Amino acid sequence: MPINVKLDDVLYERRMTLTELSEKIDITLANLSILKTGKARAIRFSTLEAICKVLDCQPGDILEFTK
């Protein structure tokens, strides 16, 4: 899929683990893992908003379009 999820990179920059993020945004670790590995089919605005709020970033920092 040409949409890449860069959640791992942002998490590394913020020195945060996926487990910590899942606790802060109240989304299961399993679902966040699906998102992180690019296996998700879609992402809700509410999820994106929560991630951006906690990681203090923009949606573009999480998602990237490659040709």
Partner 1 sequence: MPESDGYALSLTRKILRFLMVLNPVFAFLILVLLIASLIWESWVMTALGVKSELDSTKLIFAMRTIMVLGIAAAPLVQVVLKRLMAIVESVDSGNPFVLVNAERLKTIAWSLVSLEVIHFMIIVVAKGASSQELPIDIDLKFSFTRWLAVLLCFVLARVFEQGARMRDDLEGTI
Per CB under 8 A, contacts with partner 1 among 12-41 are 27, 31-32, 34-35, 39-41
How many CB atoms sit inside 10 A of residue 12's CB?
11
How far apart, in Å, are the Cα atoms of 19 and each of 2, 8, 41? 26, 12, 21
Of 16-24, 42-50, 54-62, the window that binds partner 1 (rule: CB under 8 A) is 42-50
Residue of 14, 22, 29, 47 interacting with partner 1 (CB under 8 A): 47
CB of 34 to partner 1, least distance (A): 6
Task: Report how far residue 60's alpha carbon sits from residue 6's, in angstroms, rounded to the nearest whole number.
Answer: 9
Q: Which residues bind partner 1 (CB under 8 A)?
A: 27, 31-32, 34-35, 39-44, 47
